[in-house]
Amino acid sequence: MKTNPFLLTDYYKVGHVFQYPANTNLVYSNLTPRKSRIAEVDEMVFFGLQYFIKEYLLGYFNDNFFNRSRDEILREYKRRIKTSLGADLPTYEHIEKLHELGYLPIEIKALPEGSRVPMRVPCLTIVNTLPEFYWLTNFLETILTATIWQPCISATIAFEYRKLFSDYAGKTGMSGSFVQWQGHDFSFRGMSSIETAITSGMGHLLSFTGTDTIPAIDALEMYYQADADIELIGGSVAATEHSVMCSGGKEGELKTFKRLITEIYPSGIISIVSDTWDLWKVCNEYLSVLKETVLRRNGKVIIRPDSGDPVKIICGDPGGSTVAERKGVIELLWDIFGGTITNRGYKILDPHVGVIYGDNITIERAQHICEGLKQKGFASQVVFGIGSFTYQYNTRDTFGLAMKATYVEVNHKGRRIFKDPRTDDGTKRSATGLLQVTSENGRYVLRDRVSWNEEKQGELKTVFKDGKLLRESTLKEIRERLNENREIYRAEEQAA
C-alpha cells in the first residue's frame, strides 16, 4: 500500500508536535535493545538500517510525499485525521513547511551494520537538524522500529545457529564450507508479510548462504550492493514437495524416486521429501534398491523427513518399536551407503547422500540433534531448514528494542531527560542526555550525559543527514564485520 508517509504512524504521534514545551527546537533520541529474552544471548546483531533509509526515508518519502502536490498531501492527511479523531488538528503548518523544504531534516548516527550490540547500548541516534522540525525526530519512531526489529532479531538468531553449527563442526570434523550451507531459510511462507520475509531473509544470509527466500537475494543486491554474478549471496537446490510425491501414487513411490534421480535430475543435488507415507520404508527398502544408482550418480540425493520428533527421526529413538526407529535416518543411510571417518574420528556419510530436516526446528532442537549424532559417533552433517518456527515466533520485545528521547533543547538551552518508571523492573529505564558509544576490549559500551563534543567522537557515525545517505555498507563488509574477532570459525578451520 502506498500512502502519505505521515499516516504510517500511531495516532498518538500526530499530536505530539503541539505537546512539547513552547519553543522546543531540538529532540535527540536513540534506538536501543533493552533486554534479551533469548537465553544466553546478550548481544543483538544490528542490521536493516540501510534498507530502511533507502526504502523509506529516500524512496518512500520522495515518491509519496515530497514529489506529490502539497494540496493533495494536505487534503489526504486532513481527511484521515478528521474522520478518525473527530476534529482537525490545531494547525497543519508543520506538514506544509516540511513539504516545502523538500527533504527530511534529520541526522542519523549508527554503529556499523553487522555489529553485535550489547543490551542497553544504542545502535543509533536520531536528531533534527533544523529547529522548527524538532517534532520529526520521534515522529519517525513507528516506521523505523516496525521496519528494523525483525531483521535485527533474525540476523541475531541466524548468528546463534551459525555458532552452534561451527562448534559441532570443530568437534566432529565437518568443514566450514559445509557449515555455511547447514542453516537453510525455509521461512518465507510462514512470515507475517512479504516484506517481513525479505528483511528476515536478508538477516539470515549474513550468517548462511542457504535460502529458499528468493527475494532476500534480490534485496541484498538492491540495498546492500551485493552482486550475485561475482559473489555468493545465497543459493538453493532442486527439491520436491508432497504433491509431487503423492501424484505418483503410493504404490509407485519407488518409481517416483528412480525417475527423479535418473531422468529429471541425473546429476547435481536433489532433495526428496521422504515421509509422504512411510519414511522407514524409504530408508530401508527403496534406498537399498537404488543404492548402486545413487552411488553412480554424479551428485547428491538428499533425504528430507518432514514430520515427527526431529531429534528421534534423525538420531534414533531408543524406545522405538522397530529397528529403523531406534537407529534413525543417519544411521540407516550409513548402513546402506557407508562413508568415511573425519579427522576427528566421526562418521560422515558417502557424499552421494545427505539429510535435511526443516520442520519445527529451534536452536535447542538443533543442538540436541548435533549432540545426539556426536554421541552416536557421527559428524554434524544434517542440514537444517530454519523456518518461520524460528523467525516468526519473535516480537519487538524479544530484545526490548525501543526508541527514546534523552535530550531536548527549549529556547536552544539543553535539557537532559530520561524515564525510570518506579513500577518497572528496570527494563524501561532509559539513558540520560547526549550519548556516546565507545569500544572497549572488542565490546561496545555506552556513556551517557556527555558533551556535544564527546558525542561526536564515539563509534556512532553519521549515516543519513538532510535527505542524503552518507555512509553505506556492502553485504561482504557486513558479513566480515559480524564474524570478525570471533572464535567460531577457528573450530571450522581446524576441522577442515
- 330: domain CATH number is 3.20.20.70
Give the up-direction half-sphere exposure of residue 28: CA atoms within 13 A in the CB hemisphere: 24
CA distance from start to end of the chain: 49
Q: What is the pLDDT of residue 250?
A: 87
300 and 408, same structural domain? no
Kindly tell me the burial class for residue 67, based on how many C-beta atoms sit within 10 Å of its own C-beta (0-12, 13-18, 19 or more). exposed
434 and 356, same structural domain? no
410 is written with which cell numbers?
Answer: 527549549
In a domain, 159, yes or no: no
334 and 317, same structural domain? yes
Burial 347-370 (b: 16+ CB within 10 A, else e): bbbbebbbbbbbbebbbebbbbbb
Structural domain ending residue among the three candidates 340, 368, 391: 391
Whether 71 and 434 have beta carbons less than 8 Å apart is answered as no
In a domain, 167, yes or no: no
In a domain, 168, yes or no: no
265 and 196, same structural domain? yes
130 and 185, same structural domain? no
pLDDT along the chain (496 residues), means of 10: 91 95 98 94 97 98 97 95 92 97 98 97 98 98 97 98 97 94 96 96 98 98 98 96 89 94 96 93 95 97 94 96 96 98 97 95 96 98 94 93 96 89 74 95 95 96 98 97 68 52
In a domain, 331, yes or no: yes
411 and 339, same structural domain? no
Q: What is the 3-state secondary structure (H, E, C) of 358-390?
A: CCCCCHHHHHHHHHHHHHCCECCCCEEEECHHH
Give the up-direction half-sphere exposure of residue 157: CA atoms within 13 A in the CB hemisphere: 32
341 and 236, same structural domain? yes
201 and 105, same structural domain? no
Structural domain ending residue among the three candidates 339, 362, 391: 391
Round to whole Å and give the CA distance between 460 and 125: 8
Cα–Cα distances (Å) from 259 to 263, 270, 288, 290, in that order, read: 5, 12, 16, 11
In a domain, 215, yes or no: yes
Q: What is the pLDDT of residue 485?
A: 52
DSSP lists the bridge partners of residue 354 as 302
343 and 447, same structural domain? no
348 and 236, same structural domain? yes
Residue with cell 567460531: 488
In a domain, 45, yes or no: yes
197 and 79, same structural domain? no
In the chain, the number of structural domains is 2
409 and 381, same structural domain? no
What is the DSSP pairing of strand 267-273 with strand 238-239?
A: parallel
Q: What is the pLDDT of residue 265?
A: 95
In a domain, 248, yes or no: yes
Structural domain ending residue among the three candidates 330, 356, 391: 391
In a domain, 164, yes or no: no
Q: Look up the domain containing 369 and give its range.
A: 173-391
- Whether pTM > 0.85 for this model: the answer is yes
What CATH number did the domain enclosing 484 receive? 3.20.140.10
**Coil, helix or strand for 121?**
coil
Chain mean pLDDT for the chain: 94
